[in-house]
Structure 1
Amino acid sequence: YQSDGTEKTNETLKGWCQGGGIVKVKLLWQTKEDGDIGEPVMGIVNSAEDHTNIVDIKRTDGKAVGQNPVTDKGQCRIYCRVAPGTTGGSGVIAAYDSSDNILWSWHVWVTDYHPDATGNVDVQEPLTKRKLKFTYGNHPDQRPMMDRNLGAMAGYAKAPTSDVEKFKTHGFHYQWGRKDPYPSSYSNRPITEVTLPSPIEEPIVGIMSLYRPDGVEFLPFDPGVDATATYRTAYQNPLNIYKQKDVHKWITDRDNAYINAWNSPKTVHDPCPAGWRVAQIENYLSLFSNADQAVKGEGQGANVQNSNTLGKDGGMVLAYDKNKQKTTYVRFTGYYYLNTQFYYIGTAALIWCGNKLANSDKGESVSYFRITSTASTKADIVLSGHEREAIPLRCIQEKD
């Protein structure tokens, strides 16, 4: 992986490989191009066991991987393709040991969006390279952010008009400190609450579906496993959201590596692409109308540009530059809540921030940026969020 422009060894994966190593890679899941319609984004695998037409692994020394498991950096290359002509979406590929345990998995973000990871400037065109340099208010200079949630198929400056366009802005949801993406909402109308079974074994109204490697069959996932987990257990089970009842953290070992998982410098647990990392709470201050908005201050109102049409737009258009001429659309995705709910589709959104967590073991010190269509201030900063919840995030550039 890369951190601050430097290639690093994934020491976590390397350690887990010492018990046997990687012997194969497979496609775990994929989306369709437009929710539950369209073509599978990654394609259709050869068979249940043979996924080599989509993803394959080759040792750099030419030896067979099955008989010579991969245990260290530089020993192999993983090759991945997507369906020809796809309009975009996502998939996850996974590396397995000889006992069929997942050692690591990677989110494949299929998109034509590729903003430059260098250059400390705002870029509006072409749209495939758009990135946003927030400058409103009396705040320190900061690098540009992506114009969309991580994993989203599209980002907009103004509110999109069609339901499909709005859905494309959702991206994925993440438990704090984990790299694994989870489905967002998918609905053409506001829904206050969706009750989630555990596990979700068939398509459910309001929630985006995942599909198996055959591109046809629905893939179950569990949004509320009643347990905590170590990083290793969590990464062996990337389809599980760990939410032990009445416990606000998902992780068993809340050590220093975890509380800095999304801080700077970037770690292996940061889900953002190379050259980018999870944005911090201070990176969102320019979206408040108070030019002196502080991280620990109460929200004084957001730079909302579509106050009269929030319901119709299904999201908030926020100005971010000194002259309030440049804007970004933030979709009201809603969010996973407690063990069995998904709340406020079309009326609210929470966005994770990567700031270092407090040493408290209660799991209640995470930061997020919140917007709602109903609150008088429209936006605020929460410093006591629950680490086990799964919500979207945005990525900020690592270097100038």
Structure 2
Amino acid sequence: MKTLIKYLVAALVVIMVSCDDTEQLIYEQPNSFTLTLNQEDELKVEIQTGEKIGINGTEYSVLSNACVSMYDVPVANQYLIYYPANAQLSGNNLDYSLPTVQTYTQGAIDQSACPLYCLTDNDGLNNMKMNAACGGLKLIVPANEDFASLTSVTFESKNDMLAGDVRVDATTGQVTFLENTSKTLMLKGDINISEGQELYLALPPMALSSTLDITLVSPKGMGTCSVDLNGKSIERGKVLSVALESIEWVSVTNYYGKANSIIVAPGTTSVTVDCTPYYTTSLKYTYENHASDDSRLARSAKLLWNDVSTDFISNVSLSSDCKSFTATLNGQPGNAVVAIYDMEDADAEDATILWSYHIWVTDVADQPFGVNSKGNSYTVMDRNLGAVSATPGDAGAIGLLYQWGRKDPFVTTSEIGKNTEAEMYDQSGVVSLKIESGSEERGTVAYSVRNPATYIKYSRSKSNVSAPPYYYSYDWLYWGDNALWGNPEGYDYPSVASIQKSVYDPCPEGYMVAPRDTWLNSSSSTSGIEASVFLSTSNWDAENLGYSLNYNGQELWYPLGGLRNRKTGKLQDAEKSGYYWQSTAFASNGADASYMNVGKDKVDTAGKNSRANAFSVRCVKVD
């Protein structure tokens, strides 16, 4: 019917013009055509059902089986068909913006970065072939298990333009750069190189004239290498293959001081804290204490919050060599977090926190546990991290709460059995807890270091545990990392000799977050309640809400303190549970971390839970 109508319209036009003009006005247009790629192209580009293509300046949807209906397409003597549909059309020229960030697709290029086009007439529609405006660069990355998870790869050329605004001449295929050009290009995505990988980039046709500098970014560090592409070419529809060799991988983690928590005896009126800049190259973030240069020295220090009063810390001053700060205290038991900054004015809008420290004014005692069923021996602190008491019935025995893998604390309840927010103060008044949603930007260790007083809710609701790069559901981190507390294989109960304290461990110097086997007894060979030291040597205290553990002649108190929720950051469960993080993931490829659950009816030392929750921590020494 559509074809008949078009003939009738053409016939009416014939009546109005001379016979010499009739032939050029009548075109027979097909009802549809099938999008077909030029078989000579080596690029693996597929236009999916529902995507948009452009035809002579108007967008149309691609139907199933790559079919495109011509029902709404005006009749013409030629058709310029192109993808993506947002190109700007000028005659037979197409103007595109080649992105500076391409999305990683395994085994293929980012098709949104590779324009396709076809210039044809009505007779040619049935045999049309889409041509690639770009070529491809395939980079072969060798296997690396230590840095298996890549999140981005950056490419920088000294001379050659890699992205920007281009014009494609559909009659000749020539590609010309216009403006907003860039010699830098990034490939982003979940890139697993544990067994090697091929990375594909879409690039405009060109004769390459310089070296390509490449930076591979992993949550564990980065790799760098260069490839000499001078004299090689990127051709339309073709793929240039290059093997990356001699990648220099390095893991550099900057930190300050030698512990994140400093114990101060009650009654003390000042404390000096080491904030010397160091770095470590350990993939487990072990304290290696390599000295950094003076460019990383702190320039100021400031109280962020405390849980006592506005005069708990009355002054914080940085030393003349910028390698320590001194805090003036009122001598009361309590907790404070002090940060060091990169600018002399800590209150400046662009001042950035470099590191932060938990000042913990309390008395502490230790209890040796002896050798357990895994052959390890620990000495356990008599109170929770941040607690100012170890006495049953005292709310000060609950301590502070920590998200798994983070070094900085959050306040808990101020009342036993109730989810009542403890007050926080600075030198001016009451301070409110800042709570933010996790994201790719905020769910990083670097962001958590710069924002130690911000609770980061979960970054993802789903996990990828099948192959690197891993990420975990309900983790505050966007990309997973099992080594943040220095015990990435702790689910297998390693020898304590292999466990090294991490620079992100929140415990005082000489202590670390309790490993998974801390509370196993000396005779059992399995984990869980039946293997716990709590099995026969502890008593539930219903009045004071906690367990009293009598072990090796000494009594330790484990109170219920609840948690901060992964979704809201709010307190909950203070009336029914005490949650105690352990320093390891629950399993090698699982989303959860390991913890001990102290409840009204039992103590379970082999629980698992979401890392974005904030739990209590008990610190231990390795014997």
What are structure 1's unaligned runs of at least 5 residues? 33-38, 45-53, 61-74, 114-129, 161-165, 195-205
1:36: which partner in 2?
A: none
Are 2:447 and 1:237 equivalent residues in the alignment?
Answer: no
Tell me if the contact between 2:297 and 2:323 (Cα under 8 Å) persists in the aligned partners.
no
Tell me if the contact between 1:259 and 1:357 (Cα under 8 Å) persists in the aligned partners.
no
CA drift of 1:355 comes to 2.6
Are 2:356 and 1:105 equivalent residues in the alignment?
Answer: yes
Within 2, Cα distance between the matches of 1:170 and 1:185?
8
Are 2:422 and 1:208 equivalent residues in the alignment?
Answer: yes
2:302: which partner in 1?
A: 26
Look up the equivalent residue of 1:25 and give its one-letter code: A
CA drift of 1:260 comes to 3.3
CA drift of 1:357 comes to 6.2
Among all aligned residue pairs of Structure 1 and Structure 2, give the percentage whose two residues are the same amino acid: 23
1:76 to 308, 323, 334: 323
1:368: which partner in 2?
A: 595
1:337: which partner in 2?
A: 565
Within 1, Cα distance between the matches of 2:356 and 2:389?
24
Within 2, Cα distance between the matches of 1:296 and 1:17?
47
Tell me if the contact between 1:261 and 1:269 (Cα under 8 Å) persists in the aligned partners.
no
2:515: which partner in 1?
A: 280
Are 2:406 and 1:178 equivalent residues in the alignment?
Answer: yes
Within 1, Cα distance between the matches of 2:617 and 2:378?
16
Q: Secondary structure at the match of 2:449?
A: helix
1:318 to 542, 549, 558: 549
Within 1, Cα distance between the matches of 2:372 and 2:500?
26
1:354: which partner in 2?
A: 583
- Written as runs of structure 1 = structure 2, the 5 A alignment for 1:44-193 is 44=314, 54-60=315-321, 76-83=323-330, 86-98=331-343, 99-113=350-364, 130-135=365-370, 138=373, 140=375, 142-156=377-391, 159-160=392-393, 166-188=394-416, 190-191=417-418
CA drift of 1:273 comes to 0.8
Within 1, Cα distance between the matches of 2:512 and 2:397?
19
Larger radius of gyration between Structure 1 and Structure 2 = 2
Tell me if the contact between 1:55 and 1:79 (Cα under 8 Å) persists in the aligned partners.
yes
Tell me if the contact between 1:315 and 1:346 (Cα under 8 Å) persists in the aligned partners.
no
Within 2, Cα distance between the matches of 1:8 and 1:368?
33
CA drift of 1:269 comes to 0.3
Q: CA 1:8–1:383 in structure 2 vs 1: closer, same or farther (change >3 Å)?
A: farther
Look up the equivalent residue of 2:431 and give its one-letter code: L
Q: Secondary structure at the match of 2:517?
A: helix
CA drift of 1:112 comes to 3.6
Q: CA 1:363–1:137 in structure 2 vs 1: closer, same or farther (change >3 Å)?
A: closer
Look up the equivalent residue of 1:302 and give its one-letter code: L
2:539: which partner in 1?
A: 306
1:270: which partner in 2?
A: 505
Within 2, Cα distance between the matches of 1:387 and 1:181?
14
Within 1, Cα distance between the matches of 2:292 and 2:598?
40
Tell me if the contact between 1:96 and 1:104 (Cα under 8 Å) persists in the aligned partners.
yes
Look up the equivalent residue of 2:312 and give its one-letter code: M
Deviations 1:117-172 (A, max 9, x none): xxxxxxxxxxxxx211124975635131110001110124xx34xxxxx1110111
Within 2, Cα distance between the matches of 1:97 and 1:17?
14
Tell me if the contact between 2:438 and 2:477 (Cα under 8 Å) persists in the aligned partners.
no
Q: CA 1:9–1:396 in structure 2 vs 1: closer, same or farther (change >3 Å)?
A: farther
2:606 to 362, 366, 382: 382
Look up the equivalent residue of 1:274 and give its one-letter code: E
Cα RMSD (Å): 3.2
Within 1, Cα distance between the matches of 2:371 and 2:291?
45
Q: Secondary structure at the match of 2:446?
A: helix
Deviates more, 1:140-149 or 1:170-179: 140-149
1:127: which partner in 2?
A: none
Tell me if the contact between 1:370 and 1:380 (Cα under 8 Å) persists in the aligned partners.
yes
Q: Secondary structure at the match of 2:520?
A: helix
CA drift of 1:106 comes to 0.5
Q: CA 1:29–1:90 in structure 2 vs 1: closer, same or farther (change >3 Å)?
A: same
Q: Secondary structure at the match of 2:608?
A: strand
Within 2, Cα distance between the matches of 1:10 and 1:296?
39
Deviations 1:347-372 (A, max 9, x none): 21011111356453x632x1111110
1:124: which partner in 2?
A: none
Within 2, Cα distance between the matches of 1:283 and 1:349?
16
The answer to which structure has the higher strand fraction is 2
Tell me if the contact between 1:223 and 1:339 (Cα under 8 Å) persists in the aligned partners.
no
TM-score (norm 2): 0.46
Tell me if the contact between 1:311 and 1:347 (Cα under 8 Å) persists in the aligned partners.
no
2:437: which partner in 1?
A: 225
2:486: which partner in 1?
A: 260
Tell me if the contact between 1:16 and 1:103 (Cα under 8 Å) persists in the aligned partners.
no
Q: Secondary structure at the match of 1:106?
A: strand
Tell me if the contact between 1:260 and 1:357 (Cα under 8 Å) persists in the aligned partners.
no
2:278 to 10, 28, 39: 10
Q: CA 1:327–1:257 in structure 2 vs 1: closer, same or farther (change >3 Å)?
A: closer
CA drift of 1:89 comes to 0.1
Corresponding pairs, count: 313
Deviations 1:39-84 (A, max 9, x none): 546334xxxxxxxxx2111233xxxxxxxxxxxxxx622222212x
Tell me if the contact between 1:133 and 1:143 (Cα under 8 Å) persists in the aligned partners.
yes
TM-score (norm 1): 0.69
